[in-house]
Amino acid sequence: MNRRQVIASFVSCAVALAAVGASGPRVASAQGNVVNVYSARHYGALEKVFAEFERETGIRVRLSNASSQALLERLRAEGKATPADLFFVIDAGTLQIAAEEGLLQPVDSEVLRTVIPAEMRDPQNRWFALTQRVRTIVYNSNKVKPSELSTYEALADRKWRGRLCMRPATHIYTISLVAGMIANLGERRAEQVVRGWVANRPTFIDSDSRILENIAAGKCDVAITNHYYVGNALKKDSNFPVKVFWANQNAQGAHVNISGAGVTANALNRENAIKLLEWLATRGQDPGEAGLAGGNNEFPVNPSAQPTEIIKGFGPFKADLAALSKYGPLQAQAIKLLERAGYK
């Protein structure tokens, strides 16, 4: 069974389990002062954010959690019977695919148009970014000098052989990173880079947090992770020995993905879903624990919001926003490239 078959099988099982749940199949129906959210975010900070929304508005948030891919498959399978009002995932490509397949609906909101920059939302307003997550290079500051680092492509250099930790090919973070590389470098050059990573015999770990733990323990020296994992580690231990290096600053900039959401095409609690979206884009941008960005050390999308002091300390950087809209269209191509290159 090849990787695509494995992914398909896994997603099918996840969809079936999610659809049935612990108390049998769901039946979609309007439920009054609630909003049903399919969420790929599963951090404790998100619970605090929704609790604050509930306190301020009186609208109850009902969460269903799974991966971005599994939730997309679930929306497809449920069709008009879906109970979901808001589709909230951690990947711009997945949001764009959902929009193009008619699973999300346009939202005419002056609030959202005002506070979310155009490059951070769908041109037809079917989805909106809420936080920015930068997937960049991280390193053991006791073993690597910043002057040794430069680009994602340079990690294919033989000097990193046996020194890399990487996220597996099945995770959406990896898929979108490679989709961005295809957009920026072309498929041929992107495949050369990925083959170079593979040749360096990386340790594949399906958790950014555990990747950082391995770097701190000296089991690998360099990796590619989302920036906020370092921020969260530093919050617990200011002496944590892993630092952030902003990749590709002399080229297109560091790879950026988002947490974002869209109102489902068949939302039964549509107005409540829009209220939640608008709240997340304004009140939910607070840098504190009850803020969507602040609670997880992500960068806010709203230009008037401030990042946490921890991630301010990472310094300014150039972000690759031009490729953001291409993660969805290039997703299938990226998966095939990863397979051909032998990236596990």
- Structural domains of the chain, count: 2
Considering the domain architecture, whether residues 43 and 146 belong to the same structural domain is answered as no
Could you tell me if 194 and 337 are in contact, meaning their C-beta atoms sit under 8 angstroms apart? yes
Average pLDDT over residues 192-215: 98
Q: Is residue 291 part of a domain?
A: yes
Average pLDDT over residues 7-28: 40
Tell me what percent of the residues of the chain surpass a pLDDT of 90. 84
Bridge partners of residue 222, in order along the sequence? 139, 164
Average pLDDT over residues 276-305: 90
The CATH number of the domain where 177 resides is what? 3.40.190.10
Considering the domain architecture, whether residues 154 and 233 belong to the same structural domain is answered as yes
Chain-wide mean pLDDT for the chain? Answer: 91
| Other CB atoms within 10 Å distance of the CB of residue 187 | 16
| Other CB atoms within 10 Å distance of the CB of residue 69 | 24
Q: Is residue 223 part of a domain?
A: yes
pLDDT of residue 66: 94
| Other CB atoms within 10 Å distance of the CB of residue 253 | 20
- pTM beyond 0.85: yes
Average pLDDT over residues 239-247: 98
Among the listed ranges 95-99, 109-113, 283-287, which one has the minimum average pLDDT value?
283-287
Which residue range forms the structural domain that includes residue 244? 133-255+331-341
Cα R_g (the chain), whole angstroms: 20
What the block records as the tokens of 201 is 């015999």
Distances in Å between the Cα of 295 and the Cα atoms of 182, 228, 229, 298, 311 are 32, 10, 12, 8, 12
pLDDT of residue 287: 84
Note the pLDDT tens digit of each residue in 137-164.
999 999 999 999 999 999 999 999 999 9
What the block records as the tokens of 102 is 């008619």
Could you tell me if 164 and 205 are in contact, meaning their C-beta atoms sit under 8 angstroms apart? no
Backbone φ/ψ region at 110: left (φ over 0), alpha (ψ -120 to 50), beta: alpha
pLDDT of residue 248: 98
Considering the domain architecture, whether residues 152 and 115 belong to the same structural domain is answered as no
How far apart are alpha carbons 323 and 131 in whole angstroms?
16
Q: Is residue 109 part of a domain?
A: yes
pLDDT of residue 163: 98
Element (H, E) at 336: helix 331-341
How far apart are alpha carbons 25 and 112 in whole angstroms?
34
Element (H, E) at 50: helix 44-57
